[in-house]
Structure 1
């Protein structure tokens, strides 16, 4: 049985060496990727409409291809859904990844024969870099769980269609199949809570060594395991060594996850999206995620404040700067061109190109011109929580616009594990942290235009119950940290603990 861990080491070293080579040639690789995309794209309907056969340089590419979000891209996708060939990429897509957008309803993102390896190999490379760097191969001999969406696929225009995590499930290498849990039947259960019970039943007696998923759903899995067994996770799974996570910022969930486990384990962060596997953590010792520069995606970066401008600045990789906040634009070998995926990132290094995800282009608060982003609210709350020794389960922030004499403010809905003893002092700390992080917000408070933020503590399981009420419990669904409107805030009013208000 130990044969896998024996073979994992040389393979990991081989891949790790390739990843290291790609780090050095990132800019050249990006130029080569663009040329490759243009060669295929020129022959498509989209390519002919945009004159891609005449495009030779990045400057010409920028002039030929406008930035679009899904809504603007939809007419092309609709043609592909009707079964038409050579619209955005050659032939038909291999799959449609079905994803629920916050503004566009259901999106259908094409995955091609050429782009599927980006999704599969990047996840594999993250694990192999970890093995090469740490020498830890033991987990490859135990059971691994990937908390994911259903692998059942429907056909749309002749194209198999489903959740990205379900599609990827069909491509798990044969040598890992015997290690993989839950069973196919359990994975196909639609209702998250029924599925969770089945997953617990299948895994509780197993030698789990690697657990992977979006942090809030991993936490629910841990909570259910502890409920059923009365034990901490490390006592149930003594060989559990690696937690793979992605989809949301890990920091707000880390303390509670480690407490449930009963100690720290190694973690590997990934940045997968239906549009492409963007980046992954290649080292336990360096900040940020390594950008996937040689994997069929040509990246562009727009200063985040300009993403909705008529003519935003567009930068290729060689022109990005450390510390700037950028909206991420991708062009890939599945036929996405000038596509804004809705995420914002900040580079922490350009040698190699490592970044952190800072939020969503549509998830910010700028009701008064402050443009507060996800990274800023997370930092402000977590720093205060750390100092106060309290744990945050989940939270979201919305503007409270006052129509009478009172001043407007930011309203925070927070589910604490235990509410701070002195909530007033805690609120002031969070507000001070946010003012230090965002000069526009500080100006608005100093100028008496906004009053300091307010925090409304929510009852236990408020966010789980809210997600259940809108049919979005489990899978790849996430609670937006920030909204520029009151839709989520108004729904959460029902869960406020009124003794604190």
Structure 2
């Protein structure tokens, strides 16, 4: 056992004890965080605009601070970009996390001195909770990689600005720097295909033990390694035993990733975002992600069906229920106030508070009143694929309005590792799964308003070609699972099998 892994066990025990205590006082911690946020917020322009000095209860907060999305926050962000201080939080942010919105274009999310540590510490906690549960510290004895965006930062209004994953590279502690790959120079390459080649150059001969990133980009890394070496990842990296993932649901990628590895490895799921690190997998034995209730984030939960209402129901942690789909609303020590991050979650337990991410508030299909969400399409497709031994590389779904007199339907663009022999039967089974999960969708088919879904096979690497064509290949970019329009679907029509 080497020095770093020797130190990891006692440090992990300290972290785990702290996390377990926080599980027991989650509601109390949330109340204390809200009080602390309000105390600082009173001195800001936002706080003065919303009369924070008169708000003494959460009920008053709900009345005085409406839920906002980025567009409604933009005037405050613009003032920060102009160099002004004390706008959303005291002073100025130390970073802007630059991210792409589906409707807002480029978004600039503030990261402050108070919030920045939680972005790294939460992923650290996830790894150390695994150390305590498994006793395995071997990941610290070799090399690790986080497939990320460029750590090179531009300045916007004098504030260092870049992708969250690039900013996170600057927060990796010194004791892990000697373990980290690839080199800084390689990480700074913007073109993903060039960067991927350099990453493989620098890692293929190394003792890789921990690999982290968004699943589709990890799969591309694995594919290139296998093409170069002719070996499965588990043989190429015999000591590789920990895969940390987040950003998208793991299930659609899990089977192919494990096929590429050639054996099982421990996986840890995380729920990071530019707005905060919200949850992480704290146990291999328990399902779901532990909500990060003591990290400068005050959580609110809105029943997902109400999120676009003028006055939706707003709940704090103590009032949530297991099994209900909620839109996630956050107020944070980065200066976000009742901010709709766009994700939906469902609680699996409230003792402790564990969640699963179910989709996006704007990524759904309700062209005909069905309100199909991401969780339903993923479970329907992967449920059938698993029983049939079919491997899915990537997919997305969009509505197809009435064409040539036929009934409308949901059109699924699916990149298979190998297209099923009877694609029509496969599609019908997926349709049956979706009908069993969504009563509104089932009613529309029963009433002959919709016809069963249709699957369009996308050619090999078609999604990669599409992402490259729109300048979003690599980094933290991902294809939405669901769209309520045809923008993505019509472009993907150029990448179907046989074209």
Q: TM-score, normalised by structure 1?
A: 0.99
2:194 alignment counterpart: 194
Structure 2 residue 256 is matched with structure 1 residue 256: yes
Q: Using the TM superposition, give the Cα deviation of residue 332 of structure 1 relative to its aligned residue in structure 2, in angstroms.
A: 0.1
**155-164 vs 207-216, which deviates more?**
155-164
Q: Write the mapping of 1:327-366 to structure 2, written as runs, cut at 5 A.
A: 327-366=327-366
2:419 alignment counterpart: 419
**In structure 2, C-alpha distance between the alignment counterparts of 1:496 and 1:369, rounded to whole Å:** 28
Q: Using the TM superposition, give the Cα deviation of residue 403 of structure 1 relative to its aligned residue in structure 2, in angstroms.
A: 5.1
1:114 alignment counterpart: 114
Q: Which runs of 5+ in 1 are unaligned?
A: none
2:402 alignment counterpart: 402
1:178 alignment counterpart: 178
Report the 3-state secondary structure (helix = DSSP H, G, I; strand = E; otherwise coil) of the residue aligned with 1:238: coil
Note the alpha carbon deviations across 1:4-44, whole angstroms, 9 max, x for none. Answer: 00000000001001000000000000000000000000010
1:20 alignment counterpart: 20
**In structure 1, C-alpha distance between the alignment counterparts of 2:114 and 2:263, rounded to whole Å:** 41
Q: Using the TM superposition, give the Cα deviation of residue 498 of structure 1 relative to its aligned residue in structure 2, in angstroms.
A: 4.6
Residues 459 and 498 in structure 2, CA contact (< 8 A), matched pair in contact too:
no
Q: Write the mapping of 1:271-350 to structure 2, written as runs, cut at 5 A.
A: 271-350=271-350
Report the 3-state secondary structure (helix = DSSP H, G, I; strand = E; otherwise coil) of the residue aligned with 2:456: strand
Q: Write the mapping of 1:72-221 to structure 2, written as runs, cut at 5 A.
A: 72-221=72-221
Note the alpha carbon deviations across 1:84-103, whole angstroms, 9 max, x for none. Answer: 00000000001000001111
Note the alpha carbon deviations across 1:332-364, whole angstroms, 9 max, x for none. Answer: 001000100010111111110000000111100
Q: Write the mapping of 1:418-457 to structure 2, written as runs, cut at 5 A.
A: 418-457=418-457
**In structure 2, C-alpha distance between the alignment counterparts of 1:498 and 1:434, rounded to whole Å:** 28
Q: Using the TM superposition, give the Cα deviation of residue 405 of structure 1 relative to its aligned residue in structure 2, in angstroms.
A: 2.4
Q: Using the TM superposition, give the Cα deviation of residue 156 of structure 1 relative to its aligned residue in structure 2, in angstroms.
A: 1.1
1:40 alignment counterpart: 40
Q: Which consecutive segments of 4 or more residues in structure 1 shift more than 4 A?
A: none
What do you get for the CA RMSD once the two structures are aligned? 0.9
Note the alpha carbon deviations across 1:357-395, whole angstroms, 9 max, x for none. Answer: 001111000001100000000000001111211100000
Note the alpha carbon deviations across 1:371-428, whole angstroms, 9 max, x for none. Answer: 0000000000001111211100000000000155211100000000011111111111
Q: Using the TM superposition, give the Cα deviation of residue 279 of structure 1 relative to its aligned residue in structure 2, in angstroms.
A: 0.3
Report the 3-state secondary structure (helix = DSSP H, G, I; strand = E; otherwise coil) of the residue aligned with 1:113: coil
Q: Using the TM superposition, give the Cα deviation of residue 496 of structure 1 relative to its aligned residue in structure 2, in angstroms.
A: 1.4
**In structure 2, C-alpha distance between the alignment counterparts of 1:257 and 1:469, rounded to whole Å:** 25
2:373 alignment counterpart: 373
Structure 2 residue 226 is matched with structure 1 residue 231: no
Q: Using the TM superposition, give the Cα deviation of residue 166 of structure 1 relative to its aligned residue in structure 2, in angstroms.
A: 0.7
**80-89 vs 417-426, which deviates more?**
417-426
**In structure 2, C-alpha distance between the alignment counterparts of 1:357 and 1:464, rounded to whole Å:** 24
What is the number of residues matched between the two proteins?
A: 499
